[in-house]
Structure 1
Amino acid sequence: MPTVSPSPDLRQRAAAVSSTEVTAAIGVGGIVIAALLPAGGIEDGPVICPFRALTGLPCPGCGLTRSWVYLMHGDVGSSLASNWFGPVLIAAIVVLAVVAGRSRLSGRRPADLDKLVKNPVVLGLFALFVAHGAVRLILTMTGVIDPI
Structure 2
Amino acid sequence: MATMSAPAPVLPAFSARRALTRLGAFVLVGGAIAAAHAVLGVGVPCPFRELTGLQCPLCGSTRAALRLTRGDVASAWSLNALFVVAVGVLIVCGVVWAVEALGGPAVRPPRWARPLLRQNRLYVIVGVIGVVFAVVRNIV
The question of a shared fold, defined as TM-score above 0.5 by the shorter chain, is answered with yes
- Tell me whether 1:94 sits opposite 2:95 in the alignment: no
Residue 68 of structure 2 is aligned to residue 71 of structure 1? yes
TM-score, normalised via structure 1 length: 0.57
Q: Which amino acid is 2:27 matched to? A: V
Q: Quote the residue 2:11 is aligned against.
A: none
- Contact kept, 8 Å, 1:21 with 1:100, in 2: the verdict is yes
Query: Aligned equivalents of 1:93 and 1:103: distance in 2?
Result: 15
**In the alignment, which residue of structure 2 is the partner of 1:131?**
132
Higher relative contact order (CA 8 A, sep 6+): 1
5+ residue gaps, structure 2:
1-14, 109-113
Q: CA deviation at 1:116?
A: 9.7
Amino acid of the residue matched to residue 131 of structure 1? Answer: V
Q: Hey, what's the Cα distance between the residues in 2 that align with 1:133 and 1:53?
A: 15
Q: Structure 2-normalised TM-score?
A: 0.60
In the superposition, relative to structure 1, how do residues 35 and 53 fare at CA in structure 2: closer, same or farther (>3 Å)? Answer: closer
* Letter of the 1:133 counterpart: A
Q: Percent identity?
A: 30
CA RMSD of the aligned region, Å? 4.0
User: Any idea what the Cα deviations from partners look like across 1:24-69, whole Å, max 9, x if unmatched?
Assistant: 1124325655775676x89x63452221122222111111111111
2:25 alignment partner in structure 1: 26
